[in-house]
Amino acid sequence: MNKVIIPLKRLIPGLIIGPASWLGPYIVMNSLFLPALIQHFDAPHKVELVALFSTCGMIVAALSNMIAGALSDKTHSRFGKRAPWLMGGAFVFMLAMIAASFSPNIPILLTAWMVGQAALNFIVAPMVAWIDFAPEDGRATASSAYGGLGMALGNNGFNVVGALFLSQFRLGFIIFGIFTFIGVSIATLIVHEPSNLAEQSVTTQPAHQKLTLKDAAAIFPRWSVGRDYYLALIAKLFQGVGNFAITGYILYIMTDFLHRGNQTQSAIQLINLIMLIFGVFMGFVAGPLSDKFKILKLPVGFSTLFLAFGALMLFFFRDNLGIITYAFAAGIGMGLWNSLDNLLNLEVIPDQNRVAFFLGIYNLGNTITQAIAPVIAAGVIALFGYAGIFIISFIFSLIGGILILQIKSVKR
């Protein structure tokens, strides 16, 4: 069976529009609209409730991501492996966010949010596997388009607009939910994955043979086989917590720690604008330079130094200097990481027949760390106040970089 190759002229626009369309609205709703609505329902317990939503979301995201990746890898349709799940996930996510906007209380909001979390991962797992459709000499460029450009727009570009809806957060859920469906649809049409109806399924055992415990354990290879993949995955979790410990509480950091008052909206917009500019810049240069000089592991590993530095700047300088310096450093670090980390993971996948499954698990770092980080941050806030968040971010970011540098199969 010949591997599906999609030209970069179709793949790159899809890899920019696609992740921006699901990640951007999710980031806005998770970091701004959801905390605002939770605060509206129960202000005295807002920190604990954010942690509750994050914990539940983490469980739902982990399960749905594995299921989505596995189903996508085994799908045969005239629209290819990925497109049916992308469109279905985007549609359900839109409906869930509309339901969240009309929630009258915390239990109904939690239910709608969990449905949205499940649907979101039916977008994430199949879409990141688009990178594997890239020609061999353009894989870093494709990865950079997805992570450096698409995710930079998602992580920061939408928050600039999202901050405008802080006083109309219920309307924001509806608008950004609809945007996800439209954006994912456009990206899917541009990529235009070919039919795989003629593709033969790879079977490793007769249909009548019972699944043994050994077979079940093989879903995740043992450490000696998947060592580098597991190192990349664990590093992603540490780096993600380091980043989202700050961004997940950015609204409360601005109001309760930095006391920005009526400047909160403008400060959030400034941070996200600076991070967007540097993220997009890295998206344009990191991938092509990686393809040209055949360097991958080192820039991914060292990108975490910028995140760690940015966290310290907010800790020591609790004013405009700290805010701007953090935005510059985090923008460079996240831009470099997002541009190349998916390709690094693709290089260390232990089973090339399950690309969407393993890339999907890896990309839980973009959703599951946003669930883990608020839980950790809530505990840190309770013990040490908001200042402790920045120390946690510093430590976790550095650990993530060190783990990346321990990967052996990718030399540099």
The confidence score (pLDDT) of residue 204 equals 43
pLDDT of residue 125: 83
Cα–Cα distances (Å) from 43 to 110, 274, 336, in that order, read: 16, 30, 37
Structure tokens, 1: 């069976």
Please report how the helices 34-42 and 106-128 are oriented relative to each other, as an axis angle in degrees rounded to 10.
170
What does the pLDDT read at residue 231? 93
- For the chain, the straight-line distance linking the first and the last C-alpha, in angstroms and rounded, comes to 31
Nearest-5° angle of CA 316, CA 321, CA 325? 85
> Running along the chain, 412 residues long, what does each successive block of 10 average in pLDDT?
80 93 90 89 87 85 84 86 93 96 94 95 88 84 84 76 83 94 96 82 45 54 85 91 83 82 82 83 83 86 92 87 90 87 84 77 72 81 88 93 90 78
Residues 68, 71, 76: CA angle, nearest 5 degrees: 135
- The tokens describing 357, both together, are 């499954």
Q: How many CB atoms lie within 10 A of CB 51?
A: 22
Q: Burial, 333: exposed, middle or buried (Cβ in 10 Å; 0-12, 13-18, 19+)?
A: buried
Closest CA to 119 of 42, 177, 76, 203: 177
As a whole number of angstroms, the distance between CA 20 and CA 13 comes to 11
Tokens of 113: 């949010």
Specify whether domain 8-196+225-405 bears CATH 3.40.50.300.
Answer: no
Helix (H) or strand (E) holding 60: helix 46-74
Q: Return the domain boundaries, the chain.
A: 8-196+225-405
- Cα(161)–Cα(35) distance, rounded to whole angstroms? 17
d(CA 68, CA 52): 24
Question: What's the CA gap between 355 and 70, in Å, rounded?
Answer: 9
Question: In this structure, what token pair is assigned to residue 22?
Answer: 């699901």
pLDDT per residue over 62-79, tens digit each? 888 888 888 888 888 888
Give the other-Cβ count within 10 Å of 114's Cβ.
18
Identify the pLDDT of residue 173: 94
Question: Could you tell me the pTM of the whole model?
Answer: 0.73
Query: How many Å apart are CA 238 and CA 120, to the nearest integer?
Result: 22
